[in-house]
């Protein structure tokens, strides 16, 4: 067990850093509360969208299908990262790596085709899709 003098000698830099962070935080919060505006008004509570007056509410209801498509995008995007890691080490992995990557891509393609066939990638309402299908005929 190191004695307190050795312990302080090892960690004085960390303590100074943490003290500096806390001091900087206190300074920034204190100065902003002292110099900040205290005026309240109707237009102060409205969101500012780069000079554009907002229309409607920010509480937009989205279909659950939108979130399903978003999750599928994230899943396929993460799998693309696996393929990127494989592409970086393609020479070291050899033929076995190529076969494994081909199987991985085939499974991804089968999953994408399955999702496309069941309509998981279409978040438009069914009535709009049938109307568009009738217009195409």
Provide the strand spans (E) within the chain. Answer: none
Instruction: Provide the pLDDT for residue 65.
Output: 77
The residues that bridge with 52 in the sheet, in sequence order, are 49
Instruction: Provide the pLDDT for residue 134.
Output: 73
Instruction: Provide the pLDDT for residue 128.
Output: 66
Tell me how far CA of residue 107 lies from CA of 3, 8, 66, in angstroms: 59, 56, 24
Report helix, strand or coil for 52: strand
Instruction: Provide the pLDDT for residue 27.
Output: 97
**Do 97 and 90 contact (CB within 8 A), yes or no?**
yes
Instruction: Provide the pLDDT for residue 106.
Output: 93
Cβ-Cβ contacts under 8 Å for 120 (sequence gap 6 or more): 65, 68, 69, 72
Instruction: Provide the pLDDT for residue 8.
Output: 78
Report helix, strand or coil for 123: coil
Instruction: Provide the pLDDT for residue 125.
Output: 65
Per-10-residue mean pLDDT for the chain, 137 residues long?
Answer: 77 92 96 83 70 72 78 86 87 90 91 85 69 71
Model pTM?
Answer: 0.47
Can you tell me the distance from the alpha carbon of 98 to that of 105, in angstroms, rounded to the nearest whole number? 10
Can you tell me the distance from the alpha carbon of 64 to that of 125, in angstroms, rounded to the nearest whole number? 11
């Amino acid at each position: 067990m190191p004695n307190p003098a050795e312990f302080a000698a090892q960690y004085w830099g960390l303590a100074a850093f943490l003290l500096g962070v806390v001091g900087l935080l206190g300074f920034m919060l204190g100065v902003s509360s002292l110099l900040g505006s205290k005026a309240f008004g109707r237009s102060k509570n409205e969101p500012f969208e780069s000079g554009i007056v907002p229309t409607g509410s920010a509480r937009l209801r989205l279909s659950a299908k939108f979130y399903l498509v978003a999750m599928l995008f994230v899943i396929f995007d993460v799998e693309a990262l696996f393929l990127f890691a494989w592409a970086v080490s393609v020479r070291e992995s050899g033929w076995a790596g190529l076969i494994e990557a081909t199987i991985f891509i085939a499974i991804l393609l089968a999953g994408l085709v399955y999702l496309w066939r069941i309509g998981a990638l279409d978040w438009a309402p069914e009535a709009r899709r049938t109307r568009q299908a009738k217009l195409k005929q």
